[in-house]
Structure 1
Amino acid sequence: MEGLDTITYWYRSGRFIPGVLPLPAEHLASSKFIDALSDLILNSRLPVGLVSLGIHKLNDADRMDSCMEGLLRMRRLGVLIHLLQFSGANLQIQWIEKMEPEGIHIEMGQFRADGLPHRMTSLDDKFHTQIYASNITLVKDLENVMAIGAHHSYGGLMMPPVSRHQILHISDSRIAKAIFSLHPHKTQNGDK
C-alpha cells in the first residue's frame, strides 16, 4: 500500500515516476495474494508502466515455477517485472531468458571480494532489459558496472539517498538554484 501511495503521490503531482514494489517470489504462488494485489493495483487507477514488481528471493527452481502464473497475471494488468538480487546463477539466467523482465537489479558489493565472474560481463548484450547496479560505494564498483554494461547505477558514491521531503524542497536550495541556472530545462508542467 505504501509503495502504491508513493507512486500515486508523484503521479498526482504531475510527475510520472515509476515505482518498484519489492515482493518475495513465494507470495506470487498464492492466488489469493495475486487477487488482492490485482484489486489494489486496479483500484489505484495508475497508468500502465508506473507499477513494477521487484521479485526477490528467487533462488531455486521450485520458486521460479510456482510464481510464473502470478507473474503472468500481473503482466496482463500492465505491471512491469523486475528481478532484484540478481547474482548470475544459472537458474536466474534461465528464468530471465524465459520471463524477459523489464529490469535486472544487481547489488555490486557481492563482487568485491572475488571479482566479477566472466559470465557477468556484457550483460547488456545478452539480455534485452534494463540493468540497474546498486550499492556503488567504491571506484572498483564503478569499474564493475562498466564491465557489466549497466544502464543505471546508484549508491553512496553516486549520491546519498534523499527523502521525499528533501526532493520537494530541493528547488529552494542554493545547490539546486545553481544547477538549474546552469542547465535550464522545462518539466512536464511547463515550469523551468
Structure 2
Amino acid sequence: MPVPTNVMASSEYVDAMSDLILNSRLPVGLVAIGLQSIPEYSMSSTYKDGLLRMRRLGALLHFLNFSGSVEQLQWVEEMQMDGVHIDMTQLRNEMLPFDALSQIRRPAYSSTQIYASNIALVKDIENAAEWQIDYCYGGLMMPPLSRHQTLQINDSRIAKAIFSLHPHQHPNQNGDK
C-alpha cells in the first residue's frame, strides 16, 4: 500500500490506519506499507514515530522508488526496511549506483529484500539474477489480461463454481453464510 510522506507524519492518519489494520483481522505481516520518499528534516521525527507504530502492528515497511542515494541507504538501515524497490530502467541506464545494491547485501541490511520493478526485457531477468535481486515484477513477468481473456475466465466452469451465488449451508469461521 503506497503511502505519501505527509500521511506517515500525521498522527491522525496513523491512528486511522492503525484502526483499519487492527479491525481488518489480517495476519501479521500481510500489510506492507510502501514509502514513496524520505521526509523533509522538519517532519522526520513524527515520520519515524508513525513508521514505528506501523511496525509494532506488524506492517512491513518497503521503500519504493529507491535510487541508491546515501540518505536513502541511511533510512533503509535506520528503519530496518523489509524491502526496497528499484526500477530496472535505472539499472539499464546505469542511473542507480551498483554499490548501492552491494551495500544492501551487507549484514547491516540482512533482512532487507530487493524488488525489481518494470521488468520489460529478457535481459532484465538475466541482470536481476546476476545482481542477486530477490523478487521481480513487471510486464514481462505477468502481462496484463485482455478483455477477451477476462471474459473467458468469467465464462469458465471453474469460475462459475467458485463465484456461485448459492449460500453455504454451514457458516464459515467468521460466522458468515
Give the TM-score of the pair, scaled to structure 1.
Answer: 0.67
TM-superposed CA distance for 1:31, in Å, is: 0.4
Which residue matches 1:37? 17
Is the Cα–Cα contact under 8 Å of residues 68 and 96 in structure 2 kept in the other structure?
no
Which residue matches 1:134? 117
TM-superposed CA distance for 1:35, in Å, is: 0.5
Say which SS state the counterpart of residue 104 (structure 1) adopts. strand
In the TM superposition, 1:151-162 aligns within 5 A as: 151-161=134-144
In 2 relative to 1, CA 32–121 (structure 1 residues): closer, same or farther, beyond 3 Å? closer
Is the Cα–Cα contact under 8 Å of residues 122 and 149 in structure 1 kept in the other structure?
no
Which residue matches 1:4? none
Which residue matches 2:97? 117
Unaligned runs of 5+ residues in structure 2 are 159-177
The question of 1:52 aligning with 2:35 is answered no
The amino acid that maps onto 1:152 is: Y
Unaligned runs of 5+ residues in structure 1 are 1-20, 174-192
Say which SS state the counterpart of residue 128 (structure 2) adopts. helix
Larger radius of gyration: 2
TM-superposed CA distance for 1:25, in Å, is: 1.9
TM-superposed CA distance for 1:34, in Å, is: 0.4
In 2 relative to 1, CA 86–117 (structure 1 residues): closer, same or farther, beyond 3 Å? same
TM-superposed CA distance for 1:162, in Å, is: 5.0
The amino acid that maps onto 2:6 is: E
The question of 1:102 aligning with 2:82 is answered yes
Give the TM-score of the pair, scaled to structure 2.
Answer: 0.72
Aligned length: 151
TM-superposed CA distance for 1:45, in Å, is: 1.2
Is the Cα–Cα contact under 8 Å of residues 28 and 71 in structure 1 kept in the other structure?
yes
The amino acid that maps onto 2:129 is: M
Q: Give the whole-Å Cα distance in 1 for the aligned partners of 2:20 and 2:49.
A: 18
Q: Give the whole-Å Cα distance in 2 for the aligned partners of 1:129 and 1:98.
A: 12
Q: Give the whole-Å Cα distance in 1 for the aligned partners of 2:117 and 2:105.
A: 19
